[in-house]
Chain A
C-alpha cells in the first residue's frame, strides 16, 4: 500500500499508562510530523523529524517523545498518558525538493486516543 498508515486508529487507555502511536510511510519522504487536533485549536505540531534519528520539538511537545530509526517509521510516545492528551493525532509527511510537491504535507487518517 502506498501512502501513510497510522496505528492504532483508535485507542482507549487509562491515566498513567504508556502509549505509542505509529506512523508508517511508503513515500520515502524525508520529513515526518506529529500533530494533535483539538476543537478550537486546529492542528498543533507536537514533534517533527527531518531525517533518521533527527527530530525536533513543536509547539506542544511537553509529555511526548518521538523516535525515528528508519525513514519509513515515526513513533510518538506518551510516557505516562494524561486526560489532557485525549485527542486525535495526525501524522504527516513532506518530501524534499522544489516544484509542486515542495512544502506540501500529506496526512494520515488519524489516531483517536482517549485517556480515562
Chain B
C-alpha cells in the first residue's frame, strides 16, 4: 500500500539549534517527494520538492531535504532554526503518472527562544 509516515508528531527545539524532520514512504513507482509547511490558520506552502537528479534538494527559508532511496526516506533539515519556523510540516509523495498526492500526518514544530 502507498503511504507516508512521519514518525514524530511533535518536536520542540531551541532557537538556533539544528532540525531534522523524518519522512518515510512506501510507494510502488518512482516517487516525487514534497515537503509543505503550514503556519497557524493558513493553507499549505511548498517548501521543496524532489523529482529526479541530485538527491539533496534546497528549498525556501533555508530548508533542505535528502532523498535516500535505500531507506525510503526524505528527511527535512535546517542547520539553525528561527522562531518563525514554528509551524506544522507535511511530507507528501506522488508520481509522474498520477494526479494525486499522499500526505503524511504532519509534524508540529515548536521553537523556544
CB–CB B106/A104 < 8 A:
no
15 sampled A-B residue pairs with Cβ under 8 A: A35-B103, A41-B105, A42-B6, A42-B105, A44-B103, A90-B43, A92-B44, A103-B96, A104-B34, A105-B36, A105-B44, A107-B45, A108-B43, A109-B42, A110-B41
Within residues 63 to 91 of chain B, which ones have a CB less than 8 A from any CB in chain A?
Answer: 90
How far apart sit A35 and B92, CA to CA, in the bound complex (Å)?
13
- Residues of chain A lying within 8 A (CB to CB) of residue B43: 4, 90, 107-110
Which residue numbers of A lie inside 8 Å of B, CB to CB? 4, 31, 33, 35, 40-45, 48, 50, 58, 90, 92, 94, 102-110
A58 contacts which of B34, B42, B49, B100 (Cβ < 8 Å)?
Answer: B100
Which B residues are in CB contact (< 8 Å) with A58? 100
Known: A90-B43, A102-B51, A109-B42. A42 touches B100 (CB 8 A): no
* B49: chain A residues within 8 A (beta carbon): 103-104
**CA of A4 to CA of B43, assembled, Å:** 10
Q: Given the complex of chains A and B, what is the CA–CA distance between A107 and B34 in angstroms?
A: 14
Using Cβ atoms and an 8 Å threshold, which residues of chain A touch B101?
103, 105
Do residues A104 and B103 form an inter-chain contact, with CB atoms below 8 A?
A: no
Closest chain A residue, CB of each to CB of B95: A103
A45 proximity list for chain B (CB < 8 A) = 100
CB of A90 within 8 A of CB of B99, answer no
Separation of A105 and B94 alpha carbons in the complex (Å)? 11
